[in-house]
Amino acid sequence: MRKTTLIAEAGVNHNGSIGLAKRMADIAKQAGCDYIKFQTFKAVNLAGRSAEKAKYQKETTNSDESQLEMLKSLELSFNQFTELKQYCDNIGILFISTPFDLESIDFLADLGVPLFKIPSGEITNLPYLRKINSYKKEVILSTGMSTIDEIKDALAILKDCKVSLLHANTEYPTPPCDANLSAITTLKEEFNLPIGYSDHTLGIEAPIAAVALGAEIIEKHFTLDKNMSGPDHKASLEPDELKTMVNAIRKTELMLGNGIKKPSQSELKNMSIARKSIIAKIPIKKGEIFTENNLCVKRPGNGISPMKWDEIIGTAAQKDYEEDDLI
């Protein structure tokens, strides 16, 4: 059975609280996720004073503050991330975090993260990509807002890394009509790399469908409470929804099977019941010739297969048969 890597995206839904971040790690672990992912940045390195908020950010946070001010309120210090990684190690869930600036890349590398997650917004950031490549780590690259050529350019820079790609749409929440899950197949065919899906739609249908389409990694935002103040809460899953998604994906993996078309173990017992055999339509005497008038096809299926009909027609009966006897 193929096992999908599941990343619980905490992002900045801790609202700048190390205590909430730890609670989120507990929830991701309990839900059965493989990784919990945060976002590491120094706000002053990420956004300038003139940077505007996205429309969804304006709708879910204080509309009077700038993007920089919003980011400062969501920032965890490097020391807090060190504490948080240790906490994740202790409870048994893998810690990763998306760096949003060069200083954060170096910090996470020193912290010993197993891989780098590159967000969609950095796919055209040459100095950033070069810095990531210098560490020669495993990389998961989100491809929201990008074209095939832009992905190719980024991969050329990340030439020393083992890269997986995530199809994504960077509207929060993503309208179902813009999810474009068929792009998962396009990316598989174009790049011959592990392909996953970073989902920002509401609900859990899209990630389940993505797994059915062959996504090997699923990343999904979650929160303690959708009604909390902050930019990403409303487009996130609550704890019970996260667990439901994990269970549904694991069930989907079972349903996908190995792709070999043959009778399954569970259905073998039904073959003789559901299939049919060649049967005496009327009483037949020994030596009588089998014809379409004295034979028919009925259940059960533990006699001669109807596929041998032409071989049986015209031969002589080797014994007497009563009506409905198997030939």
Q: What mean pLDDT comes out for the span 207-225?
A: 97
Work out the angle between the directed axes of helices 205-212 and 239-256 (0-180°, nearest 10). Answer: 20
Condensed to tens digits (0 to 9), the pLDDT of residues 293-322 reads: 999 999 999 999 999 999 999 999 999 999
Q: Which two tokens stand for residue 38?
A: 């945060």
**pLDDT of 63 over the 70 cut:** no
Stated pTM of the model: 0.88
Cα dist. 296→173, 181, 282, 311 in Å?
Answer: 61, 49, 9, 14
Condensed to tens digits (0 to 9), the pLDDT of residues 259-282 reads: 999 999 999 999 999 999 999 999
**pLDDT of 64 over the 90 cut:** no
- Which residues are within 8 A (CB) of 244 and not within 5 positions of it... i.e. 6 or more apart? 204
Closest CA to 24 of 34, 16, 32, 13: 13
Look at the block and give the residue holding tokens 């948080």: 84
Condensed to tens digits (0 to 9), the pLDDT of residues 66-125 reads: 888 888 888 999 999 999 999 999 999 999 999 999 999 999 999 999 999 999 999 999
- Residue 231 pLDDT class (50, 70, 90 cuts): confident
Domains present along the chain, CATH in parentheses: 5-256 (3.20.20.70), 263-327 (3.90.1210.10)
**pLDDT averaged over every residue in the chain:** 95
Residue with more model confidence, 254 or 70: 254
